[in-house]
Amino acid sequence: MFKTMPVVFGLICIYLSQIVTAQQSQVQPPNPYFENFVKGAQFQDLILPRPITDGLESEGIWGSPEVLPRDVQNGIEGNQWSYWGGNPILCDDGNYHMAICRWPESKGHFGWQKSEVAHCFSKNPLGPYQITDTIIKEGHNPETIRLADGTFVVHTLNGNRIYAAKDMAGPWKHIGSMKLDPRGFRRHVLDEHSRKWLGSNLSTELRPDGNILMMTKEGGITYSTSGMKGPYRMIAISGYPRNTGYAEDPVLWKSRHQYHCVFNHALDRRSCHIRSLDAVHWKHEGGLAYGPDSFRFADGTQNRWYKFERPKMIQDSKGRATHMSLAVMDVSKSDDKGDDNHSSKHVVLPLAVEKLISISGSPTIDAQTSNLDVLIKAEPGFSPADDLDLKTLRIGSDRVVNIGKGAKAVDSSPQGDDLLIKFQGDFGYNRFDYDFKLLGSDRDGQLVFGYALLPGHSPEEATLIIEPCGIDKKGDQFLATAMVENAGLMKSARQDVVLLKYHPGGCEEVSRVSIEALEPYQNVVLSETLEETPAKNEAYCFELVNPKPTAGYWKRVDNTDPSIELTGDWEFRDGDNFFMGSESRCSALGDSCKFTFTGQRARVCGSLVRKEMGAAEIYIDGKFVEKVALIYGFARSRIYQTPPLEPGTHTLELRSAPFQNRGPKMAIDYFEFESQENRIQDQ
């Protein structure tokens, strides 16, 4: 086995073995910026205690004391094999089937570099899962997707290989590899291989039209209209609120009107949950998606796993997540030497399932809305009229509901088996909202939650995206070029686009162009002649006039701008891959970079370099938020993005700090801030 290891797979192995020491960092304390969250605000609140299948065991099984006793019948584990990742799928035979990665335990954790993919099944989503056979002899981090025609496809880390079968048990056939068309979205990545490599740890989901949506490891969004092989056309660089801390392992799924994504930061051992109507513009729900406290049994016993990665969701017929599966380890990766008492396994955690809720009628909802009727559908085992504790219910913007505010239920009336509830109060509506969140409990005190799409929004609405601007020379002229595409599923309206020029004196509009309505997936290439040769400290970009408010109105501020306060010993580095040709770097403990802005959100981008960078302590309005590692990514990577803030003047500050054996080195390229005042309007 593995006589001809693919070059890319081998490079991944080398890279991950080099960063394993960094992955031994301790879990950070709860983020004080989210300390006022109520139950149900964080995705980890949806994780329910696991039923015990056949008792809790300690004797004769591997594991440190922190993961004993446990139910070995949950998920899949064994003393001879280490298991890692896989997503269970309910198949036509009524069983849950999974393509799961495994390797001999005697090889230690880094036996994954020569892992195989096996088939297993269970009649219960929680397990136990029974192995039938090896289905792929070489592969790691498998994910399975079922296509519209019923075909099962597994894609693996090594070389983005894909395998297809009519049945999960096989036989499986290698049908090729996935390809990426970056289309200008990775212009700033100088290395050609990195620019065009699709990456590892991918997550896929079908769009309503049957085409395939894919999120890359670093949070880039792509789609294919040509089946699993692609090419996957990039439409967004990153949906993550931060790429620091080695962001990876996204799981993408569509539930009712919106897309969800849960991913982790391997170095920080933290996790995030983000949501999106169009899979391009994402909202950070805040808090944690899962963590050491997520692994509880029905009798109160808790296992505190050291490492938890590869999240995947089991979905019902409506797309709702019913269970989350995770790969877990009892010790750090480097401490699992093989032929010892340590290993990894696959666990499955039951989830509270969102209720089917909708806003009645087609009211106009704005910041002044104070009354709303919401219909909650009955389902097998759930009668809203009998089961809900109405006095606990709150609905509104997730920003207010997650901290215990929102409109309250004041009246209700049965609608057949369903229940129409009248809510009254402050819904906390803001322009980032495309739905309202419901939180509360039933009469037994169990969590109740759901999301109601706001009138005027549709999961299939047009979504115009613009790739980063490129500067091309044609003869003696310079052209600013970029592609505009409709990444949504409805025809767009006629749209104006402006070309902006950033320079040391600020930002100015160069020209405007109108584009006709675009069908879904249709695009047009813009090409504007520049009147003068671009200087090294200038940058150009195309922006939509009057973009969707849920996308936000962002403006970029270069590292040389006087609104950025540098404290300490900073140097400026020139480079074509930096915005406006330069970035700021520091290397002393406590050196800081403070950005003052007037708006509701801000983010900072810079270089994340594995062998050079340290960490940054994040402060918002002078309050410490968290410490982030700066060691994985590219130039112009997103270091951090604030949650939505109250409109007004705020500060985002980064202070340099060491990370393990690395010094306190930090690199800042530019900031961006979001404000309604930044909106480009019609002339």
What DSSP string describes 70-93?
B-TTSSB--SSEEEE----EE-TT
Measure the CA dihedral 266/267/273/278, to 10°: -80
The mean per-residue pLDDT over the stretch 607-634 comes to 90
Q: Tell whether the model's pLDDT for residue 18 goes beyond 50.
A: no
Q: Tell whether the model's pLDDT for residue 634 goes beyond 60.
A: yes
**Band of pLDDT at residue 611, cut at 50, 70 and 90:** confident
Q: Of all residues in the chain, what percent carry a pLDDT higher than 70?
A: 95
Lowest mean pLDDT segment, chosen from 281-295, 340-354, 448-462: 281-295
Q: Of all residues in the chain, what percent carry a pLDDT higher than 90?
A: 83
Q: Tell whether the model's pLDDT for residue 194 goes beyond 80.
A: no
pLDDT at position 35: 63
pLDDT at position 661: 85
| pLDDT tens figures, 145-155 | 999 999 999 99
**Band of pLDDT at residue 266, cut at 50, 70 and 90:** confident
pLDDT at position 17: 42
* Third-level CATH fold of 357-453: Immunoglobulin-like (2.60.40)
User: Considering the domain 464-547 in this protein, what is its CATH number?
Assistant: 2.60.40.10
My answer on whether omega of the bond before 171 falls inside 30° of 0, hence cis, is yes
pLDDT at position 457: 96
Higher pLDDT among residues 185 and 158, named by residue: 185
Residues 6+ apart with CB under 8 A from 654: 592, 593, 594, 604, 616, 617, 618, 619, 639, 640, 666, 668
Distance CA 236, CA 244 (A): 18
Phi, psi of 664 (to 5 degrees): -85, 65
Q: Tell whether the model's pLDDT for residue 598 goes beyond 60.
A: yes
Distance CA 272, CA 262 (A): 6
Q: Tell whether the model's pLDDT for residue 660 goes beyond 90.
A: no
**In the chain, domain spans:** 39-75+143-350, 357-453, 464-547, 556-678
**Band of pLDDT at residue 358, cut at 50, 70 and 90:** very high
| pLDDT tens figures, 317-336 | 999 999 999 999 999 999 99
The mean per-residue pLDDT over the stretch 670-675 comes to 96
* Residue ranges of E strands in 207-305: 212-215, 221-224, 232-236, 247-255, 258-265, 270-276, 283-284
Q: Tell whether the model's pLDDT for residue 1 goes beyond 80.
A: no
Residues 6+ apart with CB under 8 A from 32: 623, 624, 625
| pLDDT tens figures, 404-445 | 999 999 999 999 999 999 999 999 999 999 999 999 999 999
pLDDT at position 159: 83
pLDDT at position 268: 83
Q: What share of the chain is helix, strand, coil (3-state, %, to 5)?
A: 10, 45, 45
| pLDDT tens figures, 123-144 | 999 999 999 999 999 999 999 9
The mean per-residue pLDDT over the stretch 275-289 comes to 94
* Third-level CATH fold of 39-75+143-350: Tachylectin-2; Chain A (2.115.10)
Both structure tokens of 55 = 């008792």
Average pLDDT of the chain, as a whole number: 92
CATH superfamily of 556-678: Galactose-binding domain-like (2.60.120.260)
pTM of full prediction above 0.85:
yes
Both structure tokens of 13 = 């192995």
pLDDT at position 7: 38
pLDDT at position 632: 81
Q: Do domains 39-75+143-350 and 556-678 have the same CATH topology?
A: no
683: number of CA atoms within 13 Å, CB side? 8
Residues 6+ apart with CB under 8 A from 38: 402, 403, 404, 439
| pLDDT tens figures, 54-103 | 899 999 999 999 999 999 999 999 999 999 989 999 999 999 999 999 99
The mean per-residue pLDDT over the stretch 444-456 comes to 97
Q: Tell whether the model's pLDDT for residue 5 goes beyond 70.
A: no
Question: What burial letters (b/e) apply to 198-218, b meaning 16+ CB within 10 Å?
Answer: bbbbbbbbebeeebbbbbbbb
